[in-house]
Structure 1
């Protein structure tokens, strides 16, 4: 008759801790790359928004003769303006860095926001 051995299979606590440690090291090396990609997307969206507004401001100036005083003038007809053929924008673009900050147009048709250009 064969004797049964009392051997248990499984992982030791040290093996589990080693695997968790290695997973933590991998996550800390990979995570910063995802954060920088999101920042690059925000920068590109911001530049696209600014170019879109500047293009619409140019069209507004061609029709009206002066640059708009605000971005809202590109969406809704301002009072007392003749020659307006808009809307030049469907909606006012949202700032990807801070939705509370709005874009501004200066007297030369350049776009900026509170955080700079």
Structure 2
């Protein structure tokens, strides 16, 4: 029955297809659905960055503790955990494979204070 109605439409000179209103309605509904879904993904992205940042800080602080056991004091820079600093004896590193990258700002590096805590 639907095919017959479509054929009648074609015979009368009208083309089969969707009207502008039908397309606008579909686009509007897609926009509403996307606006409901996108905030969920952006919040999970922030959570993942937080967890990566926490893991990086814990790795650096653990490596700084081992560095202190070997050298006698905490490292001045995070790079001291990867590369042999000049004038240091007892260094048995590298204590980290690479310098961790800050997930919130890749231009900003981690800093170690005098107590081996990461800022």
TM-score by shorter chain over 0.5: yes
Rg (Cα) greater in structure:
2
- Equivalences for residues 3-22 of structure 1 within 5 A: 5-6=11-12, 8-22=15-29
Q: Give TM-score, length-normalised by structure 2.
A: 0.86
Cα RMSD (Å): 1.3
Considering fraction of residues, name the structure with more helix. Answer: 2
Q: In the comparison of the two structures, how many residue pairs are matched?
A: 109
What is the alpha-carbon distance in structure 1 between the residues aligned to residue 17 and residue 96 of structure 2? 64
What is the alpha-carbon distance in structure 2 between the residues aligned to residue 9 and residue 88 of structure 1? 70
Structure 2's unaligned 5+ residue stretches are 1-7
Q: Give TM-score, length-normalised by structure 1.
A: 0.87
- TM superposition outliers: structure 1 runs of 4+ over 4 Å: none
Structure 1's unaligned 5+ residue stretches are 113-117
Counterpart of 1:37? 44
